[in-house]
Amino acid sequence: MADLEGLKVAKDYHVETPFANQNGFYLKGANSLDWGMKKHMSNIFNPKSGNTVMFAFDHGYFMGSAAGLERLDLLIPQLAPYVDCFMGTRGAIRTCVAPELTKSVALRVTSGSSMLQDDLSHEVVAVDIEDAIRMNADCMAVQTFIGAKGQLSSIDNLSQVINAGMRYSIPTLGVCAVGKEMERTDRFFKLATRIIAEMGCQIVKTYDCENFEEVVAACPVPIVVAGGKKLPEKEALELAYDVIRKGAHGVDMGRNIFQSQYPIEMAKAVNKIVHEGMTAKEAWEFFEDETH
């Protein structure tokens, strides 16, 4: 196995240089995918902006209704016009997302954790590929714990899902997990996102961090960024603007939308940043106009 001896210290991520191997398709790393994969990727990432607003409401799979998602059935239809993709469990999607909503679906396919446990890093593949096909999932989301006790099993889960996805042309979204004991540094995210991408995921979900543009540059597939813990709305819009400016292809935002007093207006403002190039300041002014 390669060691780190002789590694040059100064790394060059060429952050100003666009991804090179992109002839023929608008999404990073998707050049060689087949028609079915590209179709699913195009359902998720708007071909005009190249970006996506994913609404993450998969928190219930380990938190129940504690996160603030008591009534998905009421929230989802109101948010639908302003998001591109619904990310949730099959239980939440089948019961609360009307099939008439022509939005893409990121189906969470791993499970096994609950907030009652100390170590959340051991999961299983809970949804088989046939059910993902039945649900017309545009991608399958797998929680991936790099550097945690459950790393081996989550790499096994990820590989199983990617292999099944390759058989039926359904992309896999590798969710870079950060447990309590895991660092949130660029060093960690560079390691974890690159491992996840090299396992064969077509999309990686991660968090903002210092030198985020280097994380993006070193990851050969599109990155979407989780919102994380609830922030004041102005800060959440700054986060969204900052990561898009640094090369993310969208956000996968949950709590900063659904825990806001104004979830619909937040989704609208985030959409303006992600698809219309609004700055954080412009989006904040838009949000204020909408809420006053």
Query: Has 281 been annotated as catalytic?
Result: no
* Cβ nearer to ligand R5P, comparing 48 with 229: 229
Among 40, 190, 249, 255, which residue interacts with ligand R5P (rule: CB under 6 A)?
255
- Residue facing ligand R5P at closest CB distance: 254
CB 257 within 8 A of CB 263: yes
For residue 86, the Cα-to-chain-centroid distance in whole angstroms is 11
Among 140, 196, 253, 273, which residue interacts with ligand R5P (rule: CB under 6 A)?
253
222 binds ligand R5P, rule: CB under 6 A: no
Q: Catalytic residue among 205, 246, 268, 272, which?
A: 205
Contact range with ligand R5P by CB under 6 A, out of 13-21, 41-49, 193-201, 250-258? 250-258
CB 135 within 8 A of CB 107: yes
112 binds ligand R5P, rule: CB under 6 A: no
Q: ∠ CA(34), CA(277), CA(81), 5° rounding?
A: 70
90 binds ligand R5P, rule: CB under 6 A: no
* Cβ nearer to ligand R5P, comparing 145 with 284: 145
Lookup: tokens for 74:
């009421």
Beta-carbon contacts of residue 178 (< 8 Å; ≥ 6 apart): 184, 188, 207
- Residues paired with residue 250 on neighbouring β-strands, in sequence order: 52
175 binds ligand R5P, rule: CB under 6 A: yes
Among 212, 254, 274, 280, which residue interacts with ligand R5P (rule: CB under 6 A)?
254
Task: Please write down the HEC assignment for all residues of 188-248.
Answer: HHHHHHHHHHHHCCCEEEECCCCCHHHHHHCCCCCEEEECCCCCCHHHHHHHHHHHHHCCC
92 binds ligand R5P, rule: CB under 6 A: no
Residues known to be catalytic: 205
